[in-house]
Amino acid sequence: PKILVLHGPNLNLLGTREPEHYGSLTLADINARLQAIAAERGASLDYLQSNAEHVLIDRIHAARTDGTDYIIINPAAFTHTSVALRDALSAVEIPFIEVHLSNVHAREPFRHHSYFSDKAVGVICGLGADGYLYALEHALAKLAG
Ligand code: DQA
């Protein structure tokens, strides 16, 4: 099984960025934990962070033909703005889980709407970096049949 983890804009600053919302782990810490768990379970895991919408879209398009079985995505601020990223995920028809570190529903009203949630298998928010681990557990369980 092959899993793709996508991180949207500003998540490269994790660890130093508003730790009260996003925690103290860095993105490298999170990716390393995910990759170690996937490897233990015989899965391969690729990840990408980008601040650019088109880079994320192009990676989703590539996932259609590179054998990706499942996508875990934190679209970050694009959650609330990007019809294009939503359409890319719909186009490739790969199941995905939407993850947010913070509880977006406890924050500003503009964070309450997501362009992704109605297309996602599920949504995890407010559980910090652990949310990615729970998403990975779910994907691995589903892919194991
Ligand atoms: C976020 C929540 C978004 O509202 C915000 O723009 C982010 C991160 C989260 O992980 O909590 O950049 O997706």
Q: Convert the pLDDT of each residue in 105-141 to its tens digit.
A: 999 999 999 999 999 999 999 999 999 999 999 999 9
The residue to mutate among 102, 114, 124, 127, having the most atoms of ligand 1 within 8 angstroms of its beta carbon, is: 102
Residues 111-114: contacts with CB within 8 Å, 24+ apart? 111/79, 111/80, 113/80, 114/75, 114/79, 114/80
* pLDDT beyond 90 at 2: yes
Band of residue 145 on the pLDDT scale cut at 50, 70, 90: confident
Which atom of ligand 1 is closest in space to residue 111's alpha carbon?
4
**Predicted structure pTM score:** 0.97
Pocket of ligand 1 (CB under 6 A): 10, 74, 76-77, 79, 100-102, 104, 111
Residue ranges of domains in the chain: 2-143
Band of residue 17 on the pLDDT scale cut at 50, 70, 90: confident
Q: Give the chain's mean pLDDT.
A: 97
For the chain, give the percent of residues with pLDDT over 70. Answer: 100
The residue to mutate among 5, 25, 103, 111, having the most atoms of ligand 1 within 8 angstroms of its beta carbon, is: 111
Q: Is 22 a catalytic residue?
A: yes
* pLDDT beyond 90 at 73: yes
The residue annotated as part of the active site, out of 7, 47, 70, 100, is 100
CATH superfamily of 2-143: Dehydroquinase, class II (3.40.50.9100)
Q: Convert the pLDDT of each residue in 29-64 to its tens digit.
A: 999 999 999 999 999 999 999 999 999 999 999 999
